[in-house]
Amino acid sequence: MKISKRLGGIDAMVINRYQHIWDCCCDHGQLGMRLLERDAAEQIHFVDKVPVIMESLERRLTHRFGEHNDQWQLYTIDVFTLPIDNYALEQSHLIIIAGVGGELSLQIVQKLLKSYPQHRLDFILCPLRHQYNLRKGLAQLSLTLIDEELLKEQKWYYEIIHVANNNALLGTGESRRLDRPIVATGSLLWENSNALHQAYLGQIIGHYQRSLLRLEIESVLHRQVQTVLSEYYQILNELEE
């Protein structure tokens, strides 16, 4: 099945085998289908709140993977109500949230961690905007960074962020391979940087510079944007060294 470069980038970030992968806000379900096709988890769960989308997806899944295939499940629900508690605490979950805004992505992660603090939840996030605020919010939760990647498809840049809830492992004797803090501007994102990273950073800096011009000098928002901008300038200095 041919999928977009963005969805392919998310698929490639799923390296460890999970018991459950949740393709949240799945719409066409292409990502979940790719994961199902390559047997990336014991169960792939497709979640979207729009009934007509899920009816059409159910027909496609039944056609391709069979009606009685217990490796996939559909949920026509709000993603805030994901039924993770249908499964035992020790089962591993990867929750993928792509193609929605960064603020909504953060609210979903906050809600799921609050509802299921002891479940083993990893997240892959690929928001449409507000990556800085998303990461800043993630850093305030009990999450650590597994991986990050930048890619460009047509004229759009996408950040893919893979994080883990390490609190769930407390007392289990298990530890993570990587235990990096989450940095609001991104950290692993800029490793091995090339022209793509430079161009993206230029675009981000240009965006915040234009925002500053629209804000009242000395206002709280102006100071906040200046802080964000200075953090991105720091990245620029490091890339140029």
Ligand X SMILES: C[S@@+](CC[C@H](N)C(=O)[O-])C[C@H]1O[C@@H](n2cnc3c(N)ncnc32)[C@H](O)[C@@H]1O
Residues making contact with ligand X (CB under 6 A): 25-27, 47-50, 53, 78-80, 98-100
151 versus 228: smaller Cβ distance to ligand X: 151
In this structure, are residues 135 and 183 in contact, taking their beta carbons and an 8 Å threshold? yes
**DSSP letter assigned to residue 182:** P
22 versus 232: smaller Cβ distance to ligand X: 22
Q: How far apart are CA 24 and CA 69, in angstroms?
A: 20
Residue 84 CB, nearest approach to ligand X (Å): 15
18 versus 46: smaller Cβ distance to ligand X: 46
What strands, in cross-sheet order, belong to the sheet with 18-24? 72-76, 41-48, 18-24, 92-98, 120-126, 156-165, 143-153
In this structure, are residues 184 and 208 in contact, taking their beta carbons and an 8 Å threshold? no
b (16+ CB within 10 A) / e for 83-106 = ebeebeeeebbbbbbbbbebebbb
Residue 160 CB, nearest approach to ligand X (Å): 11
Residue 75 CB, nearest approach to ligand X (Å): 9
Residue 139 CB, nearest approach to ligand X (Å): 23
Residue 19 CB, nearest approach to ligand X (Å): 21
Residue 174 CB, nearest approach to ligand X (Å): 30
50 versus 196: smaller Cβ distance to ligand X: 50
- Please tell me the total number of residues recorded for the chain in this structure: 241
SS3 183: coil
CA 237 to the chain's CA centroid = 27
133 versus 211: smaller Cβ distance to ligand X: 133
CB atoms within 10 A of CB 69: 12
131 versus 144: smaller Cβ distance to ligand X: 131
Residue nearest ligand X by beta-carbon distance: 99
